[in-house]
Amino acid sequence: MTLLFSPLTLRSRTFRNRLWVSPMCMYSAVEGVPQSWHRTHLAQFASGGAGLIVAEATAVTPEGRISPRDTGLWTDEQRDVWAEIVSDIHARGGMIGIQLAHAGRKASTWWPWAEEQGSVPADQGGWQTVAPSAVPFEGFAPTEALDAAGIDRIVAGFADATRRAVDAGFDALEVHGAHGYLLHQFLSPLSNVRSDEYGGSLQNRARLLLRIVETVREIAGPDLPVLVRLSATDYAEGGFVPEEAAEVGRWAIEHGADLVDVSSGGTIAHPKVQLRPGYQVPFAEIVRAGGRVPTGAVGLITSAAQAEEVLASGAADAVFAGREWLRDPHFALRAAHELGAEVDWPPQYLRARWR
């Protein structure tokens, strides 16, 4: 038995292995509704043996979308299409979660392959963005600071989206507090210069995230796993740091989360990052040890042996991968083959199991 292919139980869900699919935006939705692309894209990972598939950053309000092509969960139509996708995943023996998100000051942007870049103008379908403070992201349109009523509306948006996610049958929920989006914007001193109860101290900067985690847990009930994705560092002087992420991770667990999915960056436009295999794994280890919480590690993890070593080292309890799943939607089956792990294969693929 390998660590990578040992099951992991969070609350009422037991995931068949610890090689999971990171949420990855497809920028292919229409009015927040997932399309046939999403259905095929996500279902293939279940056939490929993923332990958990986390669907892309899904906006809890229209204004929370990163781009006009992002998926959403603010309407029943969106919920119903997501439910069909969940059913597809379950039919293939997989489990699926969804990342609930609000992009804050990084909303209303063009999708990556658009001819234009930066913020989408209002006359082309863009909208006014909101943030903890009126500090725009470099190169993006001005943003507005949220007042108390606006913050309450954000919490209500997460609550409504959680209800729809539960109704759609998702196996896990992830609160997106990373990559420079709204909840990370509150956590980082670089984007949060408020002087009220949501700014200043780490406890104040984490207040909105923890309110939302508590709300999601209350609505999800006692059985459904809740994950929180954090960026452990801003890669900038005066920004959010791993030791703070460990503390916030511990608070998140105390407020009802079950695992911290540790990533990095997103607050500044041009961070100096030394990309290398597993470059974010040390952050997961710091959060796991410092916060004494279960973690997921991510970041250029591309092989079975590498993923196994992440778990063996004690850095994390699960391994997320992104690009490698895009290159090979059957990454888990290949990894099991390479490690000699006994796993269930789809009967249609059995001929490839050993030879």
- The amino acid present at 317, given as its one-letter code, is D
Cβ contact 72:32 at 8 Å: yes
Q: Distances in Å between the alpha carbon of 173 and those of 95, 197, 211? A: 11, 27, 15
Q: 264: Cβ–Cβ under 8 A, 6 or more apart, which residues?
A: 178, 231, 232, 233, 235, 273, 280, 283, 299
Is the separation of the CB atoms in 71 and 29 below 8 Å?
Answer: yes
Is the distance from CB of 198 to CB of 208 less than 8 angstroms? yes
Rounded distance between C-alpha atoms, residue 297 and residue 176, angstroms: 15
Place of tokens 């030879």: 355
Residues with a catalytic annotation lie at 181
Long-range CB pairs of 38-42 (<8 Å, 24+ gap) are 38/71, 38/85, 39/84, 39/85, 39/88, 42/85, 42/88, 42/89, 42/96
